[in-house]
Amino acid sequence: MSPDPAFVVYGQPPAALAAWPHGAVQTSPLAPGSAPLSEMAAESLDGAVVAAPPGTLERRYVLALALRALKPGGRLTALAPKDKGGSRLGKELAAFGCAVDEMGQKHQRICRTVRPASVADLDEAIEAGRPRLSETLGLWTQPGVFSWDRPDPGSLLLIQTLPPLSGRGADLGAGLGLLSRAVLVSPGVTELALVELDGRAFECAKRNVVDPRVAFHWQDARTGPELAGLDFVVMNPPFHDGGAEDRSLGQAFIRRAHGALRKGGVLWLVANRHLPYEGVLGELFGGVSLRAEGGGFKVFEARK
């Protein structure tokens, strides 16, 4: 069915709690190939359903973008778990000038409103949540992206531990491109696939990593792109899904790295100390060495 350009959905709202028409346009940055909500024309939409993100700056940014894109009289449904921003949704929409019908169901707060003719403070919320060049990081970043406002200590430990790499490689779950930049310092690296699911981080990485050796992939590293015969893989894999710890994520990244490496190729991995990745590493790789520990993190070298 062809998309309905007059209605958008952001994220994966529970279908039992919110309804949207078949063909509604997906706008979440966590859906590769989606249409960015930030690029929707002002007052062009009839309706939107938003699974509101947990971070305050990110959430207000998304709500403001949705309201900006809605026509006066357009309908917005926004919902979130009570303990992940849902308790604030109604007040935030009211602050934009919306009259809100709010209810609770299945541990979620569900807010429905009609976009008024006049809305307040949208530009301020959009400005606070938009991409920016961080003096602290020295990188382009955006609220809502992993470690968006401070260097991730796990990635820094991996960078300090990495030897000069060479040949063809990949950075799985590359985020803003911090690891990729460190890898590319080595002139022996000939190709690097930068793979990232979050479209916001992906767009920032394209600004942060300017190098002709890099191929950029806005994809879930667990399923794509097709990579084979690599000399090395580096990664700081995620271990949260929707705010809940999910150790299978990192294990899936490890399996993906193993499948992409040539025989003798090497995986460099950093993880939180409590995560039990030793089992899957030992199962798949011929040699596994703990190369560094510190600050609650551990760095492994695993050779296929």
Q: Is the sign of the CA dihedral 179, 181, 187, 193 positive or negative?
A: positive
One digit per residue, the tens of pLDDT, for the chain of length 304 reads 455 579 999 999 999 999 999 999 999 999 999 999 999 999 999 999 999 999 999 999 999 999 999 999 999 999 999 999 999 999 999 999 999 999 999 999 999 999 999 999 999 999 999 999 999 999 999 999 999 999 999 999 999 999 999 999 999 999 999 999 999 999 999 999 999 999 999 999 999 999 999 999 999 999 989 999 999 999 999 875 555 556 788 999 999 999 999 999 999 999 999 888 999 999 999 999 999 999 999 999 999 9
pLDDT for position 241:
59
Tell me which residue of 126, 121, 98, 110 sits closest to 49, measured CA to CA.
110
pLDDT for position 72:
97
Euclidean distance between CA atoms 99 and 94, whole angstroms: 6
pLDDT for position 1:
43
- CA-based Rg of the chain, rounded to a whole angstrom? 21
Q: pTM for this structure?
A: 0.93
pLDDT for position 238:
83
Q: Residue 262 corresponds to which tokens in the numbers above?
A: 């040539």
Contact yes or no for 232/266 (Cβ under 8 A)? yes
Euclidean distance between CA atoms 153 and 159, whole angstroms: 10
pLDDT for position 275:
87
Euclidean distance between CA atoms 29 and 45, whole angstroms: 19
Contact yes or no for 153/299 (Cβ under 8 A)? no
Tell me which residue of 301, 295, 240 sits closest to 269, measured CA to CA.
301
